[in-house]
Amino acid sequence: MTPFPHLPPYPTVRLLPKADARAIRHGFPWVFANEMVLDRRTKKLAPGSLAILEDAERRPMAVVTVNPESKIAARVLDRDPEAVIDGDWIAEKLIRALRHREALFDAPFYRLVHAEADGLPGVVIDRFGDIAVLQPNAAWADAGAETIADALLAATGIRRVVLNGSGRARGLEGLGEELRMLRGDAPEAPVEVPMNGAVYMADLMGGQKTGLFYDQRPNHAFAAGLAKDARVLDVFSHVGGFGLAALAQGAASALAVDGSAPALDLARKGAEASGVADRFETRQGDAFDTLAALDKEGRRFEVVVCDPPAFAPSKSALEPGLRAYERIARLAAPLVEEGGYLVLCSCSHAADLSKFRAASARGIGKAGRKGAICYTGFAGADHPVLPQLAEGGYLKALVFRL
């Protein structure tokens, strides 16, 4: 892989005549492999190389990062073809991202960088106080991880940086998995994260993704507002997301269901740190099986939440994924008391809001229930979305009153 940063002059890559150059000029951040001239010279560029993108008439358009081995052959870094991509350039992006988060939150716990929407394609950074977890999901960011870490320390006050190289996106870029400290010592215990009045435990070195899902913060808050004095069921709970937020707002009880014993252990520790352990219960098991078992046991709840992993992470998985969302709704609906609330979530890129909503409604109907949608939620404001890149708006949350 090409060392980063490497300085101008950058090589050139060119769009095919059929490619829509206007889309790039108007803000679309990607060039797909079937839109770019992939001659022998271009194919020899190392994944993560920097280049000048030209249109079919050889007019310079932008500085891009190139990966000839990926379906996304180029990602726009800067629309100024004269730009120099180095540590100072990265620091400027980080400072701009930081100003937005500091305007939103009074504590340093949030998604600091959300990839293309923050001007750093393929880069995800979650902040946990003075620790940042970096996910370099594009070849240029993987090659530049050390430079990004230095810029984080210089620009943000962060002192420790974890590199979490895992996930489907890295595989699509031809990158392997790794987990290591880039700067500072590894945290010896889970990090306490205050959010929505509760305390969550984030395992930054062994948990899912970066250790915590910040994207659901506003949806946690909305559902918690419905849960005062309520019995709450939180399925696919991870470290207690919806359940702990509900208890912090006065829920009578919360049952967290997840297949991961370590996640449930962190959820219990979060309940203890939040002072709500006496109202918190966990059950480990398959979500589908557990929903069916709870129905047989006659358990009923005023608020039921199902926040599964992505059932439809790609277009090829869309139809089976939609059937899975329908099945979840069908199994969960009978557990909701009359007049209660069913919260259904999807983080699938391939299942847009209308398809997810239709699948959820079918499942509720097949359970013999009916209800109106009283809330539609998305990821929080620390997860901005480029209007040209619909894939960024992956998270959907629907609240039905049954």
Q: 215-230: per-residue pLDDT in tens?
A: 999 999 999 999 999 9
When pLDDT is averaged across residues 91-107 and rounded to a whole number, the result is 98
SS3 state at 282 = strand
pLDDT one-digit tens code per residue, 286-309: 999 999 999 999 999 999 999 999
Q: How far is the C-alpha of 218 from the C-alpha of 222, rounded, in Å?
A: 6
> Is residue 3 pLDDT above 90, yes or no?
no
Q: Which residues pair with 208 in a beta bridge?
A: none
User: pLDDT band at 6, cuts 50/70/90?
Assistant: confident
Q: Which residue has the higher pLDDT, 251 or 312?
A: 251
Decide if 37 contacts 68 (C-beta within 8 A).
no
Which pLDDT score, from 0 to 100, does residue 215 have? 97
Which pLDDT score, from 0 to 100, does residue 210 have? 80
SS3 state at 364 = helix
When pLDDT is averaged across residues 351-379 and rounded to a whole number, the result is 97
Q: Does domain 192-401 have CATH number 3.40.50.2300?
A: no
Angle at the Cα of 164 from the Cα atoms of 159 and 165, rounded to 5 degrees? 140
Q: In Å, what is the CA distance from 329 to each residue of 39, 220, 356?
A: 49, 19, 11
> Is residue 44 pLDDT above 70, yes or no?
yes
SS3 state at 352 = coil
User: pLDDT band at 2, cuts 50/70/90?
Assistant: low
pLDDT one-digit tens code per residue, 110-136: 999 999 999 999 999 999 999 999 999
- Nearest one of 110, 158, 108, 164 to 132, comparing CA atoms: 158
Q: Which residue has the higher pLDDT, 157 or 256?
A: 256
Give the CATH number of domain 12-78; options: 2.30.130.10, 2.30.30.60, 3.60.21.10, 3.90.1300.10. 2.30.130.10
When pLDDT is averaged across residues 332-337 and rounded to a whole number, the result is 98
Domain boundaries 87-183, CATH class: alpha beta
> Is residue 356 pLDDT above 70, yes or no?
yes
> Is residue 29 pLDDT above 80, yes or no?
yes
Which pLDDT score, from 0 to 100, does residue 207 have? 67
**Tokens in use for 373?**
């949608």
Decide if 237 contacts 264 (C-beta within 8 A).
yes
For 365, the enclosing helix (H) or strand (E) is helix 353-366
Q: Helices 261-274 and 241-248 meet at what angle, rounded to 10?
A: 10
Q: How far is the C-alpha of 401 from the C-alpha of 297, rounded, in Å?
A: 23
When pLDDT is averaged across residues 356-375 and rounded to a whole number, the result is 98
pLDDT one-digit tens code per residue, 233-243: 999 999 999 99
> Is residue 208 pLDDT above 90, yes or no?
no
Which pLDDT score, from 0 to 100, does residue 392 have? 77
**Tokens in use for 69?**
């081995």
Q: Which residues pair with 375 in a beta bridge?
A: 399
Q: How far is the C-alpha of 301 from the C-alpha of 187, rounded, in Å?
A: 37
Decide if 277 contacts 271 (C-beta within 8 A).
yes
User: pLDDT band at 212, cuts 50/70/90?
Assistant: very high
Q: How far is the C-alpha of 113 from the C-alpha of 301, rounded, in Å?
A: 37
When pLDDT is averaged across residues 7-14 and rounded to a whole number, the result is 94
Per-domain boundaries in the chain: 12-78, 87-183, 192-401
Q: How far is the C-alpha of 298 from the C-alpha of 286, rounded, in Å?
A: 18
Report cis status (omega within 30 of 0) of the bond before 47: no
Decide if 285 contacts 259 (C-beta within 8 A).
yes
**Tokens in use for 149?**
């870490």
When pLDDT is averaged across residues 342-352 and rounded to a whole number, the result is 95
DSSP per-residue string spanning 22-89: HHHHTT--EEEGGGB---HHHHTSPTTEEEEEE-TT--EEEEEEE-TTSSEEEEEEES-TT---SHHH
Which pLDDT score, from 0 to 100, does residue 314 have? 87
Any catalytic annotation for residue 347? Answer: yes
Decide if 392 contacts 378 (C-beta within 8 A).
no
| 186-190, 259-263, 376-380: range with lowest mean pLDDT | 186-190
Which pLDDT score, from 0 to 100, does residue 269 have? 98
User: pLDDT band at 390, cuts 50/70/90?
Assistant: confident
Which pLDDT score, from 0 to 100, does residue 5 have? 77
**Burial class of residue 276, CB neighbours in 10 A (0-12, 13-18, 19+):** buried
List alpha helices for 192-332, DSSP H.
217-225, 241-248, 261-274, 287-296, 318-332
Selecting among 306, 345, 347, 374, the annotated active-site residue is 347
Q: Helices 145-156 and 87-104 meet at what angle, rounded to 10?
A: 50
pLDDT one-digit tens code per residue, 146-199: 999 999 999 998 999 999 998 888 998 999 999 999 999 999 899 999 999 999
Q: How far is the C-alpha of 238 from the C-alpha of 374, rounded, in Å?
A: 25
